Amino acid sequence: MRELRRNRRRLFYALYEGKEPIIDEWGNETGEWSINYGNPFECYKNYSAAKGEADVAVFGSDLQYDRVVYFGKPPSPVNEQSIFWIDTAPTIAPDGSTLTPHDYVTARVADSLNEVLVAVRRVSVSR
């Protein structure tokens, strides 16, 4: 996959910032965690229309993914905990945050000396 300017399409991604315990109304930890992500970043990248046979060898044959996003030359800010808005654009608040649910999660990141490929899987998230 080459990064031609005319092939770039708009997408958003957010980076994992950590997790914190969920506290109940009495101040006790529930044993569950709240996962926190940063504000979405807008970018223009090349990504595949769907999973293809040429991409199977890059990530292995057992990995379930729907698209491959090409991030160009390393280093890439995206890691395996990042989330994406590809098919739907998030509504960005004035402070940079969003309440729009993401539609893709990172399945695997494959980086080499020349490029970074990110396999993403479609998810359905309710807020």
Dist. CA 77–CA 71, nearest whole Å: 9
The pTM (predicted TM-score) of the whole model is 0.81
CATH domain 5-122 topology: Thrombin, subunit H (2.40.10)
Which residue did the predictor score with more confidence, 21 or 60? 21
Q: Which pLDDT tens digit goes with each residue over 25-83?
A: 999 999 999 999 999 999 999 888 766 554 455 666 667 888 899 988 888 889 999 99
